[in-house]
């Protein structure tokens, strides 16, 4: 399972990418998609919703289970990935390409406080 070093991670298995324009893209990790199995349904937050760090904001459902997704950092939802909603299996195919939502962070520095790839791998493989 892959954990790109260019991304940041949470203990709850989200990945986070800081974009050049200051927004933040969020998805679930390869480890998470593998643990969940075939993804069949996504429920994503409404655009415009303001999220607190750690807030339960989305659902990923696989054939066997539903899993909550938490906001990695505080921010406003500015976009959700309709292509992933329409083809949930894309999360299994490439969890880092099939992003879930983008945030405009309250504080961009929050991203650097998240786990790096090595720290996440330690948790994921604990």
Partner 1 sequence: MGSAAQRIVRRTLLRFWTNLNLPPYLAPKLPTLREPHLGKQTPLFDLHVAAGAKIVDFAGWDMPIHYGSQLEEHHQVRRDAGMFDVSHMLPVDVSGAGAQAYLAKLLANNVRKLTLPGKALYSCMLQDDGGVVDDLITYFFAPDDYRIVVNAGTADKDIAWMRTQAAKMAANVTIVSRRDLAMIAVQGPNARAKTWAALPGSQAASEGLKPFQAAKWQGEFGEIMICRTGYTGEDGFELILPAQRAGEIWKALEAAGVKPIGLGARDTLRLEAGMNLYGSDMDETKNPLESGLAWTVDFTDGRDFIGRAALEAYDRSKQLVGLLLEDRGVLRGHMRVVTPHGEGETTSGSFAPSMNASIAFARVPAAVQLGDTVEVDIRGKLLKARVTKLSFVRNGKVLV
Question: 3-class SS at 79?
Answer: strand
- The sheet with strand 75-80 has its strands ordered as 8-9, 14-18, 24-28, 101-105, 75-80, 50-51
Nearer to partner 1, 12 or 50 (CB): 12
Piece of the chain touching partner 1 by CB under 8 A; list 62-70, 76-84, 94-102, 113-121: 62-70
**Is residue 1 at the binding interface for partner 1, with CB under 8 A as the rule?**
no
Q: Cβ(63)–Cβ(38) under 8 Å?
A: yes
d(CA 98, CA 109): 24
Cα-only R_g, the chain: 13
Considering only residues 63, 83, 97, 118, which one is a binding residue for partner 1 as defined by CB under 8 A? Answer: 63
Q: How far is the CB of 19 from partner 1 (least distance, A)?
A: 29
For partner 1, give the closer residue by CB, 18 or 69.
Answer: 69
Determine which residue in the list 11, 43, 76, 79 makes contact with partner 1, applying CB under 8 A. 43
Q: How many CA atoms lie within 13 A of 31 on its CB side?
A: 18
Residues that bind partner 1 (CB under 8 A): 31, 35, 37-38, 40-41, 43, 56, 59, 61, 63-68, 89, 92, 124-125
């Amino acid at each position: 399972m892959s954990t790109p070093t260019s991304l940041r991670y949470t203990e709850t298995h989200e990945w986070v990418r800081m974009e050049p324009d200051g927004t933040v893209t969020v998805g679930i990790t390869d480890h998470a998609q593998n643990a969940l199995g075939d993804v069949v349904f996504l429920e994503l937050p409404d655009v415009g919703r303001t999220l607190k760090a750690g807030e339960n904001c989305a659902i990923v459902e696989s054939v066997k289970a539903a899993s909550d997704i938490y906001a990695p950092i505080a921010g406003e939802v500015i976009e959700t990935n309709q292509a992933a909603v329409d083809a949930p299996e894309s999360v299994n195919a490439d969890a880092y390409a099939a992003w879930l939502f983008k945030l405009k962070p309250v504080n961009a520095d929050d991203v650097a406080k998240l786990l790096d790839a090595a720290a996440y791998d330690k948790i994921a493989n604990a």
